[in-house]
Amino acid sequence: MAHEGIRVRGVRKTYGRFTRHSVLRGIDLDLARGEVVGLIGANGAGKTTLMSCLLGFLRVDEGTIELDGLRNDDLRIRARTGFVPERMNLGRNITGRQLVRYMARLAGVPRTQVEARVEAMLARLEMAGAAAGRRLGEYSRGMLQRIALCQALIHEPDFIFLDEPASGLDPNGVLLVRDLITAQRQRGAAVLLNSHQLSEIEKICDRVLFLRDGVIARVRSSLLKATYPCR
């Protein structure tokens, strides 16, 4: 029987051709559908490298990565994945609405549903109306982050990877992101959230993984969600 969710076993990644630098030193990780897991660690701990390996952007030197029993580079899995990088380089001359509409069609959202899906997602992140009609080159950092979330979630992916999703957002934007992540959990998506902020990550995550020196040094169940509700 195929394992449902994300399953990582013995993943190692080394950089450098002559002077080798081990970034990941044997990562084991399970992330179930309907679970939000936080990834935290100091700069250089390997968080971004691990996320890049999970997404298939980097090839691992050793180990296996499977999502619902399929390799992470399987096109069927990539079609079910959403990703928000910490900084997203977007075309400056298209509007936010045009970008989200394009990503919806690229992700295979049925044509009859594209417009309604796009407008609903823009409204969810308070980017509907005039804001969505502005060119991306006119956007603030926070507006770009909201559009990045829209494009990543427009096709309702089963596997979601978020790299500092609240970066550049004002307090209201942070609350919107918390609500949005909660909604992804409720519909059964597996969410991996990379952040530097432990206090923020514990408010939404079911578990927090502490990455240090290329290994998962500690796993902690979130104890703060009941104390700090999403809204």
Look at residue 19 and tell me whether its pLDDT is greater than 80: no
pLDDT digits (tens, 9 = 90+) for 54-106: 999 999 999 999 999 999 999 999 899 999 987 777 778 899 999 999 999 99
Q: What is the pLDDT of residue 222?
A: 61
Give the helix/strand (H/E) hosting 116.
helix 111-124
pLDDT digits (tens, 9 = 90+) for 187-209: 999 999 998 777 778 788 999 99
162 pLDDT band (50/70/90 cuts)? very high
The bridge status of strand 207-212 relative to strand 6-15 is unpaired
36 pLDDT band (50/70/90 cuts)? very high
**Residues 14, 50, 80, 126: what is their CA dihedral angle, to the nearest 10 degrees?**
-140
Total residue length of the chain = 231
Q: What is the pLDDT of residue 231?
A: 36
> What are the structural domains, with CATH classification, of the chain?
6-221 (3.40.50.300)
Look at residue 218 and tell me whether its pLDDT is greater than 90: no
Q: What is the pLDDT of residue 1?
A: 45
227 pLDDT band (50/70/90 cuts)? very low
